[in-house]
Amino acid sequence: MLTVALPKGALLKDSIRLFQAVGLDFSVLLDSDNRLLQITDPTQTAQGLLVRAQDVPVYVEYGQAQLGVVGYDVLREKKPQVAHLVDLGFGHCRMSVAVPSHSPYHSALEFPPHSRVASKFVHCARDYFGQLDLPVEIIPLYGSVELGPITGMSEAIVDLVSTGRTLRDNGLVELECLFESTARLIAHPLSYRLSRDHLTHWLAQLRTVRLDTPVAI
């Protein structure tokens, strides 16, 4: 039976629409009364796992799921051993460097050496500043990263930005965009090569899906 790792949060609804379009219905996971983390599609051909977005590539890499939907930002941060298959085109956001609006810096290149940068995306931040050959101290934060500069703990943050409203509401402005992120379809490498659980069949259908076409939920 095909197993799909589905991400909690912002990508879940469109992920479910994606699989609905090829005849697999995991929409019970959208029910606020649902407490199940593993469900079987009504056709009895696939099951869905509801997991934290950051854990999707872990379930796929270790073979507990053959397919998964996850943001490119998570793939860049975790660098899992999975097959990257399709840019699904939803979940648009960007990874950015931001500073307080009153900051004297107008570019990340202006940061003095050993500046402090708060981020939950530690590896993405470290890779970026490494490419700039600029030594900084990365402070790992996993809650409201915006509080880093507000409290004076850091000069800047590296975080995901969608509309930019959270930054503006907290007096922060974007300086640089590290990369754009969208939802990606990933697969367990061995399952993909061997087409286990009819994986090739499902992938062929998923590659044709356009979510701008209405799908009932």
Q: Are strands 136-140 and 115-119 parallel, antiparallel or unpaired?
A: parallel
Give mean pLDDT, residues 146-170.
96
User: Could you tell me if residue 172 is inside a domain?
Assistant: yes
Give mean pLDDT, residues 92-97.
97
- Whole-angstrom distance, CA of residue 208 vs CA of residue 199: 15
Quote the domain boundaries for residue 29.
2-91+182-206
Q: How many whole angstroms from its chain centre is CA 214?
A: 24
Whether the CB-CB separation of 174 and 167 falls below 8 Å is answered with: yes
Strand ordering across the sheet containing 93-100: 136-140, 115-119, 156-161, 93-100, 172-181
User: Could you tell me if residue 212 is inside a domain?
Assistant: no
| Statement to judge: residues 103 and 153 lie in one domain | yes
| Statement to judge: residues 83 and 13 lie in one domain | yes
CA distances from 99 to 31, 85, 122, 139 (A): 38, 35, 17, 15
User: Could you tell me if residue 217 is inside a domain?
Assistant: no
Q: Which two tokens stand for residue 25?
A: 């219905």
- Whole-angstrom distance, CA of residue 203 vs CA of residue 195: 10
**Model pLDDT, residue 212:** 59
Question: For residue 140, is pLDDT > 50?
Answer: yes
Give mean pLDDT, residues 100-129.
97
| Statement to judge: residues 11 and 118 lie in one domain | no
Query: If pLDDT is split at 50, 70 and 90, which confidence band does 214 have?
Result: very low
Q: How many domains does the chain have?
A: 2
For residue 159, give the CATH number of its domain: 3.40.190.10
| Statement to judge: residues 49 and 110 lie in one domain | no
